[in-house]
């Protein structure tokens, strides 16, 4: 059951601010989303749980013309960057997906969204999404990676989180909803020096431990394909 009280104070907890899209942020989206998901400016995009609109601003910068972001929090309406505000709607996701006018879409993006749903509801969400997808569409998600100890602060630092994911459990969820998890990869954060240090430490830990996790990153991406 969703705790409405926590969501009613979510704007204060998150400290919403209009995002600024710089070269660093654009390069990160390129490496983590655009190229792995084989995106194109000619694709149509839906972002569920678009938050402050950082990814929407990125899509506009990539010359994408057909994109839509939805979020349930009305406090975001004045935070989303003005240039993409016309692509933002404050709507309940279930209401949106039940709308026959919604879509179809080539790419659906959910960044830090699925963990806010109980597992059964997350499966229902993916199932309800399928009629809104074009042939060859892909669904990209980012979730905390609780197979790694570094993810604990991400998963349990937000009281609205309901489900913890590993690459294995995301595959299970995808299969239940009629999708294949065709690939997954880590979210890489920090400077080049920091990422190199992390890689060296993780290589040693993978050698030293009997059962190392498949990914050490605190968060990971998964790319889903409808069957």
| Best CA proximity match to 62, nearest among 50, 51, 54, 52 | 54
Where in the chain are the domains?
Answer: 12-226
pLDDT (0 to 100) of residue 189: 80
Per-residue pLDDT, averaged over 95-119, amounts to 94
Tell me the average pLDDT of the chain: 92
Q: What is the pTM of this model?
A: 0.91
Q: Evaluate the CA torsion angle 84, 157, 143, 32 in order and state its sign.
A: positive
Higher pLDDT among residues 8 and 34, named by residue: 34
CATH 3.40.50.150 assigned to domain 12-226? The reply is yes
| Best CA proximity match to 76, nearest among 104, 49, 94, 39 | 49
Confidence of residue 4 (pLDDT cuts 50, 70, 90): low
Tens digits of residue pLDDT in 137-164? 999 999 999 999 999 998 998 889 999 9
pLDDT (0 to 100) of residue 194: 83
Per-residue pLDDT, averaged over 109-126, amounts to 96
Tens digits of residue pLDDT in 195-227? 888 888 888 888 998 898 999 999 999 999 999
């Amino acid at each position: 059951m969703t705790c409405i009280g926590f969501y009613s104070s979510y704007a204060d907890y998150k400290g919403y601010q209009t995002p600024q899209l710089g070269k660093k942020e654009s390069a990160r989206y390129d490496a983590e989303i655009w190229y792995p998901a084989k995106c194109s400016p000619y694709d149509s995009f839906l972002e569920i749980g678009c938050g402050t609109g950082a990814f929407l601003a990125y899509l506009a910068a990539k010359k994408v013309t057909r994109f839509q972001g939805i979020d349930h929090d009305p406090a975001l309406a004045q935070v989303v960057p003005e240039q993409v505000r016309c692509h933002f709607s404050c709507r309940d996701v279930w209401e949106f997906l039940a709308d026959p006018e919604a879509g179809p879409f080539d790419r659906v993006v959910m960044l830090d969204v699925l963990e806010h749903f109980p597992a059964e509801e997350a499966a229902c969400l993916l199932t309800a999404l399928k009629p809104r997808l074009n042939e060859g569409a892909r669904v990209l998600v980012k979730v905390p990676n609780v197979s790694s100890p570094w993810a604990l602060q991400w998963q349990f630092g937000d009281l609205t989180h309901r489900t913890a994911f590993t690459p294995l459990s995301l595959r299970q969820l995808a299969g239940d909803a009629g999708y294949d998890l065709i690939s997954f990869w880590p979210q890489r954060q920090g400077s080049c020096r920091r990422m190199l240090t992390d890689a060296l430490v993780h290589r040693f830990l993978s050698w030293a431990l009997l059962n190392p996790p498949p990914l050490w990153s605190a968060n990971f991406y998964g790319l889903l394909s409808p069957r």
